[in-house]
């Protein structure tokens, strides 16, 4: 199934969380904020929008999908800020380290800052 299409069967189900994260969702915040601080998250969201808006994708040629994408990015930023507050209020907050190439337990690494973007289908 393509996840770029809405599917009611996944509207209320997690698909990325590990079992221990389903049991304790705060673990997700802990992992995220080990790799990113809020500024890095904002930078990544901005880069994501720039890439999307410079895309030749037919779905983004009209104004409404672009506005929807911008609104979604703003909501994601607000969600990241709320997650940051929850993370710090639960006593897990500690200074985030810059994104790096070291794998986090169970999920993988955060991207290196300013890493070159490779076109889809390229290797290495």
Please name which of 81, 11, 13, 87 lies closest in space to residue 45, comparing C-alpha atoms: 81
Mean per-residue pLDDT, 93-98: 52
H-type alpha helices, the chain: 19-23, 26-35, 38-53, 63-89
Look at residue 48 and tell me whether its pLDDT is greater than 70: yes
Look at residue 70 and tell me whether its pLDDT is greater than 80: yes
What are the sequence ranges of the domains in the chain? 24-94
Given a contact cutoff of 8 angstroms between Cβ atoms, the answer to whether 35 and 109 are in contact is yes
pLDDT at 4: 61
106 pLDDT tier (thresholds 50, 70, 90)? low
**What percent of the chain lies above the pLDDT cut of 70?**
69
80 pLDDT tier (thresholds 50, 70, 90)? very high
Q: Which residue, chain included where needed, has tokens 């802990």?
A: 30
Look at residue 84 and tell me whether its pLDDT is greater than 60: yes
Mean pLDDT of the chain: 78
pLDDT at 3: 54
pTM of the predicted model as reported, rounded to 2 decimal places: 0.66
**What is d(CA 29, CA 92) in angstroms, rounded to the nearest whole number?**
9
**What is d(CA 63, CA 81) in angstroms, rounded to the nearest whole number?**
27
């Amino acid at each position: 199934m393509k996840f770029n299409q809405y599917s009611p069967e996944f509207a209320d189900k997690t698909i990325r969380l590990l079992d221990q994260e389903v049991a304790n969702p705060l673990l997700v915040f802990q992992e995220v904020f080990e790799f990113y601080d809020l500024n890095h998250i904002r930078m990544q969201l901005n880069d994501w929008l720039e890439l999307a808006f410079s895309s030749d994708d037919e779905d983004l040629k009209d104004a409404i999908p672009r506005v929807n994408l911008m609104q979604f990015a703003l909501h994601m930023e607000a969600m990241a800020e709320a997650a940051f507050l929850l993370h710090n209020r639960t006593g897990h907050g500690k200074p985030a380290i810059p994104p790096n190439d070291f794998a986090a337990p169970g999920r993988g690494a955060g991207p290196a800052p300013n890493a070159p973007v490779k076109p889809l289908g390229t290797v290495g």
